[in-house]
Amino acid sequence: MGVVDLRSDTVTHPTPAMREAMYRAEVGDDVFGDDPTVNRLEQMAAERTGKEAALFVASGTMGNLVSLLAHCGRGDEVIVGDKCHTFVYEQGGMAVLGGMTPYPIPNQPDGTLRLEDIEAAIRPLGNPHFPLTRLICLENTHNLCNGIPLTAEFTAEVARLARSHRLRLHLDGARVFNAAAGLGVDVRELVRDVDSVMFCLSKGLCAPVGSLVCGSTDFIAAARRARKVVGGGMRQAGVLAAAGIVALEEVAPRLSEDHVRARVLAQGLEQIPGVTVAPVHTNIVYFDVAADVPRTPQQVTEGLAKRGVLLMGRVGRRFRAVTHYWIDDQGIETAISAMREVVA
């Protein structure tokens, strides 16, 4: 339809190869474990992340929730960053559905958590006044920290700290394949030291539905039980899993193209008076429109929409644009021109 949709990489519709694979997918009943396409996708996900097993779930939020349910019991505490998706954007699911207490500590500008802050948040054992600390959660790439990727070295440091206190480490890796592309490393390296990882097929990987949770065989068995209780048994899910297989085989290797276009978009926006762009690390571009620009945030998004460009307003006068498979070079130029007209 000629719309340049930069609201998120979740807006991606299936590629032609995905549609063909979905049409031809061999299916069974996944709850019974006999959907061959789901089984193949789960095996591929385990291999790509270097874990023993994997579980196909409906969404990233469900993937994070079943991971926390598998790691923790009611009353346990989870250390999270105060800007992480699990804490900010998942409706408090760990508390509402799992009875867990989140312990938020400050995310640093680079998306990391200070080791000293993590250490200070771990509850002393034997004191009946406190919940029991069970889990630490990280996010990679970190959405609210400008899509920055966390390094394998940092994750390893957190893992060492976790193990010294007999804690588990979960990674919300919704865009971990973007992190790998941004850092020029294999995904296995970024998730090697975590006990579990969730990654989304439906964001930068362009599949229409689904995420994968990966970890040890025992962990995945527990996560599978948790998936059932939250209504995640999807029966003939091979129709969806087929798109996920294409995502891993064909879309993951090209993510660096989205990163290049994000940088081109940022460079173009920086040339517009009144627009300030945050550092770009992967496929997420955050920028601010100055208060002296005579347009409200709503007028900016509405003006862009009239010109065929969609993006999200954030808190205050901050905006986010996300590049993906369906944004080409012409789309980037259209977005820059539209922003220049709206701001002017």
**pLDDT tens track for 220-275:** 999 999 999 999 999 999 999 999 999 999 999 999 999 999 999 999 999 999 99
Cβ–Cβ < 8 Å for 41, 212: yes
141 upstream amide cis, omega within 30 of 0: yes
How do residues 141-165 score in pLDDT, each as one tens digit? Answer: 999 999 999 999 999 999 999 999 9
Kind plus residue range of the DSSP H or E element containing 175: none
pLDDT at 1 over 80: no
* Pairwise CA distance, residues 306 & 339, whole Å: 11
Three-state DSSP at 213 gives: strand
Cα 116 → chain centroid: 25
Could you tell me what percent of the chain has a pLDDT over 90?
97
In the chain, the amino acid numbered 13 is: H
How do residues 59-98 score in pLDDT, each as one tens digit? Answer: 999 999 999 999 999 999 999 999 999 999 999 999 999 9
For residue 139, the model assigns a pLDDT of: 98
Summarize the confidence of residues 44-72 as an average pLDDT.
98
* Pairwise CA distance, residues 321 & 269, whole Å: 11
**Largest separation between any pair of C-alpha atoms in the chain:** 63
Residue from 81, 249, 87, 60 nearest 150 by CA: 81
For residue 255, the model assigns a pLDDT of: 98
For residue 268, the model assigns a pLDDT of: 98
Cα 288 → chain centroid: 23
For residue 144, the model assigns a pLDDT of: 96
Give φ, ψ of 80 to 5 degrees: -135, 160
pLDDT at 38 over 90: yes
* Pairwise CA distance, residues 264 & 80, whole Å: 33
For residue 314, the model assigns a pLDDT of: 82
Summarize the confidence of residues 192-215 as an average pLDDT.
98
Give φ, ψ of 284 to 5 degrees: -115, 130
Residue from 300, 255, 304, 251 nearest 281 by CA: 255
Cβ–Cβ < 8 Å for 178, 204: yes
Sheet architecture: strand order including 211-215: 53-57, 211-215, 196-200, 168-172, 132-139, 76-81, 101-105
For residue 229, the model assigns a pLDDT of: 96
Domains in the chain (CATH in brackets) are 4-10+254-343 (3.90.1150.10), 13-251 (3.40.640.10)
* Pairwise CA distance, residues 63 & 70, whole Å: 11
* Pairwise CA distance, residues 313 & 204, whole Å: 20
For residue 163, the model assigns a pLDDT of: 98
Q: SS3 for 42-92, per residue? A: HHHHHHHHCCCEEEEECCHHHHHHHHHHHHCCCCEEEEEECCCHHHHCCCC
* Pairwise CA distance, residues 73 & 66, whole Å: 12
* Pairwise CA distance, residues 47 & 315, whole Å: 39
DSSP string covering 250-311: IIGGGHHHHHHHHHHHHHHHHTSTTEEE----SSEEEEEE-TTSS--HHHHHHHHHHTTEE-
- Average pLDDT of every residue of the chain: 97
